[in-house]
Amino acid sequence: MSEKIAEQYKVKTEPFYRPVSNEVELYQAAYARRMPVMLKGPTGCGKSRFVEYMAWKLGRPLITVACNEDMTASDLVGRFLLDKDGTKWQDGPLTTAARIGAICYLDEVVEARQDTTVVIHPLTDHRRSLPLDKKGELVEAHKDFQLVISYNPGYQSLMKDLKQSTKQRFGAMNFDYPDAVLEAEIVAKEAGVDADIAKKLVQIAHRARNLKGHGLDEGISTRLLVYAGQMIAEGVEPLAACQMTLVTPLTDDPDMRETLEAAVHTFFVS
Ligand SMILES: Nc1ncnc2c1ncn2[C@@H]1O[C@H](COP(=O)(O)OP(=O)(O)OP(=O)(O)O)[C@@H](O)[C@H]1O
Ligand SMILES: [Mg+2]
C-alpha cells in the first residue's frame, strides 16, 4: 500500500537544475544524516526546483505542502472524516510523508501559525516521530523521511517569524538569484530563447533588483525572466513580452512602472 503511495509521489523525470554553488553536496550530506533543512531566499530563485531535483537524485518521493495562515495542525497531520460507515481517519501530507519515507517540503512555512508549526518538532529531533493525538497513534518516521522547509526572509514582520525552537531544528541554506552568466544560461534553457535575448533579460532584472527597497518590495525573479523568455519564444514582440512579465506583475506604482519600462527599453527597442 505505502509502496503504491510512494510511487505516486516519485519525481519521474530529471528536473533541470543548474547548481549555483556547492548546494547539491551540502544537501546530500544533510540528507545522509536525515538532517532537517531550511531553504531561505527570495521568490522565484530556484528553491522548489532544487528540492525536486534533489528528490529525483536521491530517488525519494516528494510531498510538497503550501503553507498558509489558515492552515491548522490537522491539515498537516490528518483528521477523522465522516463517511457512510461512520468515521474514518485520513492521514495528512506530513503523516503520509513520515510513513512512506518521503521528503516533505513545507513551502513558506512562516505563513503557518506557530501552533501549527510546532507539530513538526517531534519529527525534527532525535524522536523522529509524529503523535496523532486525535487518533491515539504514534507514527515512527520511516528511515528515509526528511523534512525541508522554505522561507522568504524578506517579507516577514516581527509577528511572523519562526520560533527559535523551530529554527534551531534545521540546517539552513541561503538561495539567491544566480550570477548573470548562470542566470542567462538558465533562462535560455528554460524558455528556449537564444543567449543574446537571455542576457538582455538578465540585465533588465539586474536594474530592477537595484530598486529593491527603493520602491520595489522585491526584484524581478528568475521565474519572471523565464516567463519573459517564453513569451518571446512564442513570437511575442519583446517589449510586450517584458511589459506583461517583468513590469505589470511587479508594481502598481506609476513611477516605478515607468522606471521599469525605461530599463526594458534600454535593451529592447521597438
Ligand atoms: N538553478 C536553477 N536551475 C534551473 N532552473 C532554475 C534555477 N533557478 C531558478 N530556476 C528557474 O526559476 C523558476 C522558479 O524557481 P522556483 O519555483 O524553484 O522558485 P522558488 O525559489 O521556489 O520560489 P517561491 O519562493 O516563490 O516558491 C524555475 O521554474 C526555473 O525555471
Ligand atoms: Mg517554491
Average pLDDT over residues 138-159: 85
pLDDT of 1 over the 80 cut = no
pLDDT attached to residue 116:
87
Under a CB-based contact definition with an 8 Å cutoff, are residues 57 and 13 in contact?
no
Q: Which band of pLDDT confidence, cut at 50, 70 and 90, is reported for residue 101?
A: very high
Last residue of a domain, one of 174, 194, 226: 174
Confidence of residue 17 (pLDDT cuts 50, 70, 90): very high
Same domain, 37 and 136: yes
Distance CA 121, CA 94 (A): 12
CA–CA gap between residue 189 and residue 203 (Å, rounded): 17
Domain's final residue, options 145, 174, 203: 174
Counting from 1 in the atom list of ligand 1, the atom nearest the Cα of 150 is 25
Residues 98 and 116 in one domain: yes
| Domain count along the chain | 2
Whose Cα sits closest to atom 29 in ligand 1?
Answer: 223
Whether the predicted pLDDT of 3 surpasses 80? yes
On whether both 91 and 212 belong to a single domain, the answer is: no
Least confidently predicted of 41-55, 154-168, 232-246: 154-168
Distance 142 CA to ligand 1 centre (A): 29
Mean pLDDT of the chain: 94
Claim to verify: residue 169 and residue 194 sit in the same structural domain: no
- Element containing residue 87 per DSSP (H, E): strand 86-91
State which residues have CB under 5 angstroms from ligand 2, the bound ion.
48
Domain boundary among 153, 174, 195: 174
**41 and 158 together in one domain:** yes
* Residue having the nearest C-alpha atom to atom 15 of ligand 1: 46
213 and 130, same domain (yes or no):
no
Best probe residue, ligand 1, of 38, 190, 223 (max atoms within 8 Å of C-beta): 223
Note whether 68 and 121 are same-domain residues: yes
Are residue 200 and residue 142 in the same domain, yes or no?
Answer: no
Q: Which has the closest alpha carbon to 78: 94, 65, 61? A: 94
Ligand 1, residue 49: give the atom nearest the CA: 18
Strand partners, 157: none
Query: What's the average model confidence in pLDDT over 155-175?
Result: 83
Residues 21 and 94 in one domain: yes
Residue 96 C-beta-side C-alpha neighbours within 13 Å: 26
Quote the cell numbers at residue 148.
525541508
Given a contact cutoff of 8 angstroms between Cβ atoms, the answer to whether 222 and 177 are in contact is yes
* Amino acid 161: pLDDT: 81
Do residues 112 and 211 both lie within one domain?
no
- Taking 60 as the threshold, does the pLDDT of residue 225 lie above it? yes
pLDDT digits (tens, 9 = 90+) for 213-224: 898 988 999 999
Q: Does pLDDT of 228 surpass 70?
A: yes
Cβ < 6 Å from ligand 1: which residues? Answer: 16-18, 20, 41, 43-49, 107, 152, 178, 186, 190, 222-223, 226
Contacts of 237 (CB under 8 A, 6+ apart): 270
Residue nearest to atom 18 of ligand 1 (CA): 46
Name the band, by pLDDT with cuts 50, 70 and 90, for residue 155.
low
Ligand 1 atom closest to Cα of residue 19: 1
Determine the distance separating the centroid of ligand 2 and the alpha carbon of 146, expressed in angstroms: 17
Distance 17 CA to ligand 2 centre (A): 13
198 in the same domain as 128: no
Same domain, residue pair 108 and 128: yes
**Residue 261: which domain range?**
180-267
Contact yes or no for 117/109 (Cβ under 8 A): yes
**Domain CATH code at residue 98:** 3.40.50.300
The average pLDDT across 176-204 equals: 98
Measured between alpha carbons, how far is 48 from 223 in angstroms, rounded to an integer?
11
Give the pLDDT band (50/70/90) at residue 113. confident
Ligand nearest to the Cα of 46, by number = 1
Stated pTM of the model = 0.94
Confidence of residue 158 (pLDDT cuts 50, 70, 90): low
Q: Report how far ligand 2's centroid is from the alpha carbon of 65 (Å).
A: 10
pLDDT digits (tens, 9 = 90+) for 41-93: 999 999 999 999 999 999 999 999 999 999 999 999 999 999 888 999 999 99
